[in-house]
Structure 1
Amino acid sequence: MSQKYEAERAVLMEDVKQVLKDAEALYKAAVDDGTKEGQALKEKLKAQLAKAQKQYAELEGSVVERTRQAAASTNDLVHEKPYHAIGIAAVVGLLLGAFLSRCGR
Structure 2
Amino acid sequence: MSRNYEAERAVLMDDVKQVLKDAEALYQAAVDDGTKEGKALKEKLKAQLGRAQKQFSELEGSVVERTRQAAAQTDDLVHSKPYHAMGIAALVGLVLGALLSRR
Residues paired across the two proteins, number? 75
Aligned to 1:57: 57
Task: Report the CA distance between 1:39 and its aligned residue.
Answer: 2.7
Residue 34 (1) aligns with residue 35 (2): yes
Shift of 1:63: 2.0
Per-residue deviation at 1:83?
A: 1.6
* Identical pairs, percent: 73
Unaligned runs of 5+ in 1: 1-22
Q: Distance in 2 between matches of 1:64 and 1:90?
A: 28
- Name the residue aligned to 2:88: 88
Higher relative contact order (CA 8 A, sep 6+): 2
Unaligned residue ranges in structure 2 (runs of 5+): 1-19
Q: Residue 42 of structure 1: CA displacement?
A: 1.4
What TM-score, normalized by structure 2, do the two folds share? 0.62
RMSD between superposed Cα atoms in Å: 2.3
**What is the distance in 1 between the residues matched to 2:98 and 2:79?**
28
In the superposition, the TM-score normalised over structure 1's length comes to 0.61
Q: What is the DSSP-based 3-state SS (H/G/I as helix, E as strand, rest coil) of the residue aligned with 1:73? A: helix
